[in-house]
Amino acid sequence: MELKLEIDNDVIILKLIGNLVATSVGDLKTEISRLMEKKYLHILLDMSQMELIDSTGLGTCSFLSRELASKGGVMVFVGLNEHVRRTFHLTRFDQRVQLFNSRIDGVGALLAILGKENV
């Protein structure tokens, strides 16, 4: 899996490319931990180029989402393909996190949380 990092205002956008599976979750954990250390707590995971997620990948997303929330942050997910969306739905993970169809909507939601909706 490849990670690409962008910043839009105070929102961190991490684009996941490839598969989020047991052999690749370490990269995501490391990157999110590094961002949290730097006090970046509002993170958008762009999954539009992600092909597959397994149970370890889903568990990692759940863990990282809870970690951010415990520090006053939030993680939102955008661009889920049919496989990933179905996995989120079957595990009811979609009921515990915020999902958006587009990056614009996800960034807008995070900016609203930050009180910067007009930026």
Q: Where are the domains of the chain?
A: 2-110
Q: What is the mean pLDDT of residues 1-11?
A: 91
Q: What is the mean pLDDT of residues 90-113?
A: 94
Rounded Cα distance between 84 and 38, Å, is 29
Task: Quote the DSSP letter at residue 1.
Answer: -
CATH number for region 2-110: 3.30.750.24
The pairing of strands 42-53 and 98-100 is unpaired
Q: Taking all residues of the chain, what is their mean pLDDT, rounded to a whole number?
A: 93
Q: Are 85 and 106 in contact (CB under 8 A)?
A: no
| Residue 70 CB partners (closer than 8 Å, separation 6+) | none
Q: What is the mean pLDDT of residues 26-39?
A: 95
Structure tokens at 31: 């990157």
Which residue is associated with the tokens 């931990």? 33
The model's pTM:
0.91
**Backbone region of residue 17 per phi and psi (left: phi > 0; alpha: psi in -120 to 50; beta: other values):** beta
The pLDDT of residue 9 is 81
